[in-house]
Amino acid sequence: MREQGFQLVATTHPRAVVAPGVLSGEGTVIAAGAVINPGVRIGKSVIINTSTILDRDCQIDDGAHIGPRARLAGRVSVGRGTWIGIGATVIDGLRIGTGAVIGAGAVVVDGIPDGVLAYGVPAKVIKGINKDDP
């Protein structure tokens, strides 16, 4: 849509709690019940879904989707186009790679590389993701 000249806006539900000074890019949606703490930076076209918590100083890159009730502790970095499933938990200071998928309910206690599927408690890398796979 950007290539066709449309300008996207960031939208925040009135029942989301967003700390002053939080930066979010165009096309980003912050859903009801989300709590976003100070120092968080959110890229373009990101979905911060219902009742998600982003603690202090997280960085969410463009095109990421943070699923409902996901919990990211402080200083978590989420790569471009990454998907974090419903109810996932990520401990403090980790990096979730670009294009990764974190399964529902996962508990991430170690960094996750680019382009992989990880799930479980604790989360383990299951396989690489090839965008050409069916």
**Among positive and negative, which fits the CA dihedral 83, 127, 114, 92?**
positive
- Compute CA distances 54 → 35, 45, 103, whole Å: 6, 17, 18
Nearest to 91 by CA among 78, 104, 110: 110
Q: Could you tell me whether strands 23-24 and 101-102 are parallel, antiparallel, or unpaired per DSSP bridges?
A: unpaired
In the annotation, is 13 catalytic?
no
Nearest to 19 by CA among 49, 55, 47: 55
What six digits make up the tokens of 100? 């990764």
Asked if residues 62 and 81 have their Cβ atoms less than 8 Å apart, the reply is yes
Q: Which of 65, 69, 71, 95 is catalytic?
A: 65
Question: Which positions are annotated as active-site residues?
Answer: 65
